[in-house]
Homo-oligomer: A and B are copies of this chain.
């Protein structure tokens, strides 16, 4: 195929590509990247380049750098030291030239954080879920995976790529999960895959109860804690630390790219399980390892949040305050029990319009969340207040939202 001859014969490739884009525009969910640069040391302040009118100052309300650890002096200093000590990239896979002492230290620190024997780093949380779930399930012929209906796309990808049987249980519904478990052969290998904090609704799974079911039906358990590590538990070990159930889980998965403020993913588990994933998962074996600069930064961040609860407490307080202010202002804040503050809109075009007005007129950056990230009809704005968002910022935000809600006549819909 040459560049301007896509339609010479048979299938018209150009038309299929264009139609795929047209469908997104028609549904109002074509996405535009917002062009920003954060100001280090002044988070949540940033500069916006959108529409080439920038740089213009804005306040970021939708970062997953939940505790602003990406700006923490210890993290920056550790990354700078690694940069000067060993250089930019690792130069290879973990097996071929790309292992460093930093990787080994961080894996030890993460194993300790979750009370497990070992841990394994991946280039992202997405890859850690995809690679681990697909490899685990493939190892057991006849494996049946029980998956919460709200599980993240990366977990769904891993389960699908395993090619195994899959049963979807209703979100956090223990009775439904048990019904599905009981329906399978008692001798079939089983794995229950779920999250602790669900990122778009901000609710929490009943981990202990799910472990009880796993015991009763002899199932392995896989818990995604990406929206909880660093933020819950006395040392930032997540909801499984807070609920004192970490030892009951087969695999705990986490990220270095949200509360820890850097980039990368990991799993923690028994030594043998880690050894199996390390040895068999293509998504681990055949990829350049995390840059030692990132690993050094994550190591500093994990260590800091193990010892300090100031950031966690500040975040919880900020989230409580914002939820209260939104409720008092009559805004349709959703019923979240965590640090995540979702505001229901229920329409992709309106969600984008509110976001556009906030950015253009109020200097507030919050992204509209549309399908496929959330189900159609539940489009929303998702706020992630952190320890650095103060009450003045929150008052200004609520006032802006009320004005926009009135202007767009959204009160009835809310």
Contacts and interface: CB of A to CB of B under 8 A. Distances in A.
Interface in A80-139: 80, 83-92, 94-104, 123-127, 130, 139
A20 B97 contact: no
Contacts of A85: 37, 39-40
Given A3-B270, A17-B139, A272-B14, A62 B261 contact: no
A382 B255 CA distance: 33
Contacts of A268: none
A154 B127 CA distance: 12
Interface stretch (A274-282, A337-345, A389-397): A274-282
B87 A43 contact: yes
- The CB with the most chain B CB atoms within 10 A, among A38, A62, A211, A256, is that of A38
A65 B60 CA distance: 36
A94 to B, nearest CB: 6
A376 interface: no
Interface string A251-293: 0000111101111000000101101101110110111101111
A71 B367 CA distance: 37
A205 interface: no
A63 interface: yes
Contacts of A127: 123-124, 126-127, 287
A239 interface: no
A46 B33 CA distance: 40
Contact of A263 (B14, B89, B211, B382): B89
A248 B6 CA distance: 11
Given A49-B101, A123-B124, A262 B291 contact: yes
**What band does the interface of chain A fall in when counting residues whose beta carbon is under 8 Å from B?**
35 or more
A36 to B, nearest CB: 6
A26 to B, nearest CB: 13
A64 interface: yes
A362 interface: no
A365 B91 CA distance: 13
A202 to B, nearest CB: 15
Given A123-B124, A154-B282, 12 more contacts: A17-B139, A24-B279, A33-B94, A33-B95, A33-B104, A64-B97, A64-B288, A69-B88, A88-B301, A124-B288, A153-B286, A157-B161
12 contacts: A1-B218, A1-B250, A20-B280, A34-B97, A37-B292, A62-B96, A64-B98, A76-B84, A123-B123, A126-B127, A127-B287, A255-B288
What 7 A-B pairs have minimum CB-CB distances, sorted nearest first?
Answer: A65-B91, A257-B288, A63-B91, A126-B287, A70-B88, A33-B99, A10-B187
